[in-house]
Structure 1
Amino acid sequence: MYHPQKSGSFASCFLLLLSFLLATTVAGHAVHPVLPRAALGMGDAASPFDMSQIYLTNSRWKENENRALSYLKNVNVDRLLYNFRANHKLSTQGATPNKGWDAPDFPFRTHAQGHYLNGWSYCYASLKDTTCRDRALYFVAELAKCQANNKAAGFTAGYLSGFPESEITAVEQRTLKNGNVPYYAIHKTMSGLLDVWRHLNDTNARTVLLGMASWVDARTSKLSYSQMQSMLGTEFGGMNDVLADIYLETGDAKWLTVAKRFDHASVFDPLASNKDQLNGLHANTQVPKWIGATKEFRATGDTKYRDIAANAWKFTVNAHTYAIGGNSQAEHFRLPNQISNYLSKDTAEGCNTVNMLKLTRELFSLSSNTTSSSPSTVGSTSYFDYYENALLNHLLGQQNSDDAHGHITYFTSLNPGGRRGVGPAWGGGTWSTDYDSFWCCQGTALETNTKLMDSIYFHDARDESKLWVNQFIPSVLDWKAKGVKVELKSTFPVGETVDLELSSPASSGEAKEWSLLVRVPSWVDGKAEIKVNGEVVSGQGTPGTYASVKRAWKSGDKVSVRLPRKLRTIAANDNSGVAALAFGPVVLAGNYGSEGLSSVPALTLSSVKRVNEIGLDFTATSGGRTVKLGPFYEARGFNYNVYWALK
């Protein structure tokens, strides 16, 4: 069984923490203020910027953000509070209860609300949208009232949920039979509160969150190791993730102890030994645990945690992932490399891809730290090549761009003749709605489409000597530490050129030396071309590497990156004769209108032609007829095909 121990590499961080805590002891009582995360966790070379320093500009991504923002600003907040208030014996104030997965009789009701808190927080952080801020603050204040009424409701101090605390007793005793996953729902609320605390500096959110964490500690401390491991057989979200994050925010070692109780040995042990035993596991149950493992590595320095997360990513991406970056069929992992045998209506659950992106960005940060060994090669683009693929080809098109509120699909079907917004009834069967759905994927999509800016740029937080550009989403970065703004302009992925323009306030316009590292994706045809102020930079542009330019940058400098593309195939792991088509990063889909398909159609690869040099429209011959091809992320309102039998 896996029992983490502190490693020697953690010694310096531990001593730093110890000295800090000793210095903050007053009258025999330890004080636990919010500490800089770097003072507690393993330092990374590449750290993401705070969302407040980045905003999107006009693009296909910005349109997704706008639709999500519209929904978040219009959804009825009191309806979202209904189950919390009812469960904690407070007035529902005449609000109408929701339907679907937030109906008053749905087992894990209130699982979605944490995602609304995430989304409101992100929109305020990046956009300074005061409506989102006020909604988040109001919601948290009302949650505080619910939590404060626990005695009258018959609950233990700190408990907060839309279902009774007896559900926790049932999951502990393994008698739960109604399909509830109570800790999964509780994790979502805690994650949302953490973001409100971080991004809005709301003390209410901190108080409610720490009250919930104390309640978790009290419940789980009474269980034996075997009882706890048995309970972890029921989906529990990322409880280890949020509790380790609380430790990294507060410096209180108690929360790290609680986080470790959620280390699921039957899943972690094989991964620590580099074994793929994912077959048959409910996919999205696992990924949040792996994200938590990265946080536990930061907190402890124990390399087993890092290995667990990195091996899980490697197995999932290389052996269980479809061409569009999504994984799982009917929400479950199948045997490794079984792709063509599972092209069905219930492939690529949205939640799982969202969480894989979170895991990816954490692992990129860890792999960039050259002071420690890493399962990936430092400087490789593999992490963000995957991130780009999954975001562009799965999640961007998961949202309905014809809907002002940006509703989404649960699964993204990859069966021949699939169609977005149509699928198994238990997975939604159509696009989500304002008040009748509340699927897990609806909540995670709100997160995705309100934090599209969070992984474009990374910086070396240790000395601000490097700036990574990992995605090519039009945006503006305000790099406050350097006194410079970076604007990324591009029509990517329609166009192949990415431009970066630097500007500085007059007061800090002097030249400053640092290194710009731009991802050159592995799909680039030949070599990328890098220009600074019109001059070609030699020795850079190899696909799968970061182009690095170190110089004294000044206001007005311009960098141009051309990323040549070509048509390529992405073969199914289990059948090289079945493949998806892509042009550069863009997976293409055939448009079959209302026609149904009974099997994977044949396609003559030599017949694929680009309609013109501008745009992403193609034609091909399939079954003796011409089929139109276009970006899969825009495939909506018609039956499509992604995988082909190549001729």
Structure 2
Amino acid sequence: MTDTTKHNWRRRHLLKASAGASVLGSPLFSFSAAAQTDVLIKGTGVDVASELQVARPIPLEQVRLLPSIYMDALKANLAYLLRLDADRMLHNYHRFAGLPTKAKAYGGWEADTIAGEALGHYLSALSLMYAQTGETSMLARVDYIIDELERVQNAHGDGYLGGFMRKRANGDIVDGKEIFAEIMAGDIRSAGFDLNGCWVPLYNWHKVFAGLLDAQRYCKNQKALQLGLGLANYVAKVFAALDEQQLQLVLNCEHGGINESFAELFVRTGDRRWLALAERIYHHKVLDPLAEGKDELATLHANTQIPKLIGLARLAEITGKSHYRKASTQFWHSVTEHHSYVIGGHGDREYFDAADSQAQHISEQTCEACGTYNMLKLTRHLFSWAPHSQYFEFYERAHLNHILAHQNPKTGMFTYMTPLMSGMPREFSTEDDSFWCCVLSGLESHAKHGDSIYWSREATLFVNLYIPSRLDWQAQGLQLEMTGAYPYDEFVTLRITQIDRQNKRQNQTPSHAETHLQAQVQSTKDSNAKLTLALRIPTWANGFSAEVHATQHNHAAQTSKRSNAATKKYSHRDSDGYCRIERRWQVGDTIRLHLPMQLRFENAAGRPAQASDSPVALLRGPTVMAADLGPADKAYTAPAPALVGDSLLGKFIRLKGRTLRYQSIGIVRPKDQQFLPFFQMHERRAAVYFPRFSNAQWKVAEQEYAREQKEKQDLIARSVDIMHLGEMQAERDHQLTADISYPVSYRGRNGRDARTGGFFEFTIKVKPGQLHLIAAYWGEERRRRFRILIDQTEIQYVELKGEFPGQFIEQTYVIPESVTNGKTSVRVRFQPEQGYTAGPVFGCRLVLAK
């Protein structure tokens, strides 16, 4: 395989992928052994080389959920989608096109300069929900939005679509469209989340493109594709005006997966202009190290990077270029194996920290939901290239323990972060005034729980998730039903409900992503041919078994019955993690899968497993179990729980009469707790990670541990506001302004400095009473002289002399009450003395005095 684009426009025959695979954490496959196939793009006559994809998800339209925790989440999301008003999301689109607005704009992020993003997500969520459920109310809303966007695009007259806004230097908020004339003229001001005064406009466009493409794919709305092409032509003109250096400057601002958008336009249309543009949108600073096999993710904003890699994975499928493939694979392994927490999420305050340092970052701001939403997308690409159970071991972990945790099924509302710090409650969105990115990705996540349960490769059906559902595998004329109470219960039942292989419904209109699968089975006309069901067997399921109960059919009497003699047991797991059952299936055939679930501990990376304070989490099968610390609306003031003793796993007793709940016996300090699935603790305070001590270790550590926990709880209780300097979201939330000031990163921490003649300033909340400002510095900084001002009043002159080598330090400054009296917020300014530098400052915290 070469690195040149392979567009010879010939059909290729599917080759079998390498059967060998190694254990989790080792290389899974040789890229040179990748299978080859082509995807026929419906309606274009173009064959696009897709040499990697050897497996495909069964289309969402062919899967229906049955009652379960996933169905509960889907129903709550459906209800919220119906409560949302498309006209409120269309407000800015209408307004900036000079059309009458039909409803007031939503609040939260929809009232900020990122406005308009929600509409793209909403289009995708409606389209996915229509495919998943067949609810025609979803289709009607999609068609209405597309019609309105057509009016908007026609009014602009140049293909433009957008609802985002721009904040001018004088503070005026205007149509974001005006920044593109500046950018095309070479006036580019890019700063992480901000591009010429507009909050992530390219990221915003990526969501609009995704919504339009989903509307075409799932709702067969061809007008949506034409709108996307109109917008693409406008965007292309902007990029055409930029040289490579200017382009990279633009790409320093979060741009989502807009490279994927243009790759998909190429796939849908066959127009190679879009492929060329997709490949040009390549952020060298981030992607080159990954293509070289390096993990340089520390201090990067996590979710800014993942969509770039999803787009790169799509380009790998289209072009066959190995460095695209290598970067995507390297990133996935780095994140899942070295940067993820036990629930499958990653990041602290939205940022990657140093590899294998999670034990040092178990905070109240772990695991941004958008990051996991996107990691699941990337996982699907990698699995399609080389089906292996390790991909869905991660997928299930994150889908069950993070995605389900991030929606409250009672209300349909969503979290932004999912805190793993003991005792911290989840903060949920509101109906009309949040619209954070994680709310919007949540609308999609909970509209498509059936999209990765079943996958196919020729005559093999992979069962990757044990979610109760009905499958209509149209390409092979097989229908089955999967039932059970997994993950609460260890048993899963799959029953064949229909076989009609001679009349496979190949007259159904396929999506572009599945057409090649139908070509694979054209020669399989024999209704008696064998099909293989490949059941994913998790690494934790020791002693699993799968029993097939075959149905004996009496053709003369036209009756069927199950025979014990026809029962066959399987207990072999192949090297790729699947138990394969190949047979000529009949209606009524049943598989009873047993996946034994034992309690086990999992260490948080970053501390030696033998360390006295090494945090561990408790799991049962795929489920993260957490201690129940009480209602979220009541304060938790006790120390974070710790595990003390030997042979700890034997000291948990499952409580009878409860779905899944355990009681610890004599091993939790300060007192024993009940443990239940973390994902269902939406309105409870939880403890997920526990320092673990032997009895002897605890005698030594008890007093020090209690003191540290008390200090930590006291600091949190006294905290009024926290400013994480050098982090894009925090700086935007706190209205940071600066001049001759730069974000920095050191030893896994982000910060900001200001050089001589410059400053940085931000807003921070205050409360009545005596307040202190705590600032963090690297202890070896020398010759740093600067002033700290609050609302233009100097409160401290600071000189750093390098007196604390090898450590970060915190200094506390008293704020005169006269500076904050009667106020709810103030402006904090760091200003260097002439000839010196201020900081770097690695974060500030405003606290009430003790």
TM-score, normalised with respect to structure 1: 0.88
Distance 1:361 1:265, change over 3 A: same
2:266–2:272 contact (8 Å) kept in structure 1: yes
The 10-residue stretch of structure 1 (244-253 or 436-445) with the greater mean CA deviation from structure 2: 244-253
The 10-residue stretch of structure 1 (348-357 or 594-603) with the greater mean CA deviation from structure 2: 594-603
| Structure 2: segments with no counterpart, 5+ residues | 13-40, 166-175, 190-194, 504-526, 551-563, 694-850
> What residue number does 1:583 align with?
620
- Looking at structure 1, the residues matched to 547 and 310 of structure 2 have their Cα atoms a distance apart, in angstroms, of 34
Distance 1:190 1:55, change over 3 A: same
1:473–1:492 contact (8 Å) kept in structure 2: yes
- Looking at structure 2, the residues matched to 90 and 62 of structure 1 have their Cα atoms a distance apart, in angstroms, of 40
Distance 1:33 1:223, change over 3 A: farther
> What residue number does 2:220 align with?
201
> What residue number does 2:76 align with?
67
> What residue number does 1:55 align with?
64
**Cα offset for 1:482?**
1.4
The structure 2 residue matched to 1:525, chosen from 536, 542, 561, is: 542
**Cα offset for 1:586?**
0.6
- Looking at structure 1, the residues matched to 637 and 575 of structure 2 have their Cα atoms a distance apart, in angstroms, of 37
**Cα offset for 1:507?**
8.6
**Cα offset for 1:14?**
2.7
> What residue number does 2:399 align with?
391
1:35–1:248 contact (8 Å) kept in structure 2: no
Distance 1:598 1:544, change over 3 A: farther
RCO (CA 8 Å, sep 6+): is it higher in 1 or 2? 1
- Looking at structure 2, the residues matched to 180 and 472 of structure 1 have their Cα atoms a distance apart, in angstroms, of 40
Look up the equivalent residue of 1:416 and give its one-letter code. S
The structure 1 residue matched to 2:684, chosen from 611, 614, 638, is: 638
Distance 1:96 1:350, change over 3 A: same
> What residue number does 1:451 align with?
448
Q: CA RMSD in A?
A: 2.2
Distance 1:293 1:447, change over 3 A: same
After the TM superposition, which residues 482-631 of structure 1 pair with which residues of structure 2 at under 5 Å, given as runs? 482-504=476-498, 510-533=527-550, 535-541=567-573, 545-575=577-607, 576=609, 577-593=614-630, 594-596=634-636, 600-604=640-644, 605-606=648-649, 607-612=651-656, 615-620=659-664, 621-631=667-677
**1:123-171, CA deviations, whole angstroms, 9 ceiling, x for partnerless residues?**
21122111110001100110111111114xxxx4334334321233456
2:413–2:429 contact (8 Å) kept in structure 1: yes
Look up the equivalent residue of 1:474 and give its one-letter code. P
After the TM superposition, which residues 104-503 of structure 1 pair with which residues of structure 2 at under 5 Å, given as runs? 106-151=112-157, 156-163=158-165, 164-169=176-181, 173-175=187-189, 176=195, 178=197, 180-368=199-387, 380-403=388-411, 406-421=412-427, 431-460=428-457, 464-503=458-497
Look up the equivalent residue of 2:434 and give its one-letter code. S
Look up the equivalent residue of 2:446 and give its one-letter code. N
2:64–2:450 contact (8 Å) kept in structure 1: yes
- Looking at structure 2, the residues matched to 640 and 321 of structure 1 have their Cα atoms a distance apart, in angstroms, of 19
- Looking at structure 2, the residues matched to 89 and 78 of structure 1 have their Cα atoms a distance apart, in angstroms, of 15
1:589–1:631 contact (8 Å) kept in structure 2: yes
- Looking at structure 1, the residues matched to 46 and 335 of structure 2 have their Cα atoms a distance apart, in angstroms, of 29
**Cα offset for 1:237?**
0.6
**1:529-573, CA deviations, whole angstroms, 9 ceiling, x for partnerless residues?**
443436243451479711111111122211111100111111011
Look up the equivalent residue of 1:382 and give its one-letter code. Q
**1:250-297, CA deviations, whole angstroms, 9 ceiling, x for partnerless residues?**
221111111112111111110011100001111000000010011101
- Looking at structure 1, the residues matched to 200 and 181 of structure 2 have their Cα atoms a distance apart, in angstroms, of 12
2:93–2:161 contact (8 Å) kept in structure 1: no
**Cα offset for 1:596?**
2.3
Look up the equivalent residue of 1:144 and give its one-letter code. E
Distance 1:139 1:60, change over 3 A: same
State the secondary structure of the residue aligned to 2:242.
coil
**1:336-372, CA deviations, whole angstroms, 9 ceiling, x for partnerless residues?**
111111111111000000000000011100123xxxx
- Looking at structure 1, the residues matched to 389 and 45 of structure 2 have their Cα atoms a distance apart, in angstroms, of 28
| Structure 1: segments with no counterpart, 5+ residues | 19-31, 369-379, 422-430
2:367–2:419 contact (8 Å) kept in structure 1: yes
**1:493-530, CA deviations, whole angstroms, 9 ceiling, x for partnerless residues?**
00111111112267959434111111001121333444
State the secondary structure of the residue aligned to 1:446.
helix
- Looking at structure 1, the residues matched to 42 and 544 of structure 2 have their Cα atoms a distance apart, in angstroms, of 49
The 10-residue stretch of structure 1 (477-486 or 285-294) with the greater mean CA deviation from structure 2: 477-486
TM-score, normalised with respect to structure 2: 0.67
The 10-residue stretch of structure 1 (38-47 or 209-218) with the greater mean CA deviation from structure 2: 38-47
1:157–1:215 contact (8 Å) kept in structure 2: yes
- Looking at structure 2, the residues matched to 312 and 587 of structure 1 have their Cα atoms a distance apart, in angstroms, of 24
Distance 1:187 1:116, change over 3 A: same
- Looking at structure 1, the residues matched to 455 and 307 of structure 2 have their Cα atoms a distance apart, in angstroms, of 22
**1:170-226, CA deviations, whole angstroms, 9 ceiling, x for partnerless residues?**
566332454611001111011000000111111210110111111121111121111
**1:389-442, CA deviations, whole angstroms, 9 ceiling, x for partnerless residues?**
001000102111221xx1111100011111112xxxxxxxxx112221111000
The answer to which structure has the higher helix fraction is 1
State the secondary structure of the residue aligned to 2:8.
helix
- Structure 1 runs of 4+ aligned residues shifted over 6 Å read none
> What residue number does 1:96 align with?
104
- Looking at structure 1, the residues matched to 580 and 331 of structure 2 have their Cα atoms a distance apart, in angstroms, of 29
- Looking at structure 2, the residues matched to 362 and 334 of structure 1 have their Cα atoms a distance apart, in angstroms, of 25
- Looking at structure 2, the residues matched to 600 and 440 of structure 1 have their Cα atoms a distance apart, in angstroms, of 31
- Looking at structure 2, the residues matched to 168 and 436 of structure 1 have their Cα atoms a distance apart, in angstroms, of 29
2:413–2:439 contact (8 Å) kept in structure 1: yes
Structure ID, larger Rg: 2
State the secondary structure of the residue aligned to 1:102.
helix
**Cα offset for 1:599?**
5.6
- Looking at structure 2, the residues matched to 33 and 393 of structure 1 have their Cα atoms a distance apart, in angstroms, of 37
State the secondary structure of the residue aligned to 1:537.
strand
- Looking at structure 2, the residues matched to 352 and 639 of structure 1 have their Cα atoms a distance apart, in angstroms, of 23
State the secondary structure of the residue aligned to 2:584.
strand
1:160–1:212 contact (8 Å) kept in structure 2: no
Distance 1:597 1:546, change over 3 A: farther
1:79–1:96 contact (8 Å) kept in structure 2: yes
The answer to which structure has the higher strand fraction is 2
1:159–1:165 contact (8 Å) kept in structure 2: no
- Looking at structure 2, the residues matched to 247 and 566 of structure 1 have their Cα atoms a distance apart, in angstroms, of 48
Look up the equivalent residue of 1:633 and give its one-letter code. F
The 10-residue stretch of structure 1 (32-41 or 309-318) with the greater mean CA deviation from structure 2: 32-41
Distance 1:179 1:15, change over 3 A: closer
1:168–1:182 contact (8 Å) kept in structure 2: no
**Cα offset for 1:37?**
8.7
- Looking at structure 1, the residues matched to 45 and 460 of structure 2 have their Cα atoms a distance apart, in angstroms, of 20
**Cα offset for 1:615?**
3.1
Look up the equivalent residue of 2:422 and give its one-letter code. P
State the secondary structure of the residue aligned to 1:633.
helix
Look up the equivalent residue of 1:137 and give its one-letter code. D
**Cα offset for 1:623?**
1.1
1:497–1:561 contact (8 Å) kept in structure 2: yes
Distance 1:38 1:443, change over 3 A: farther
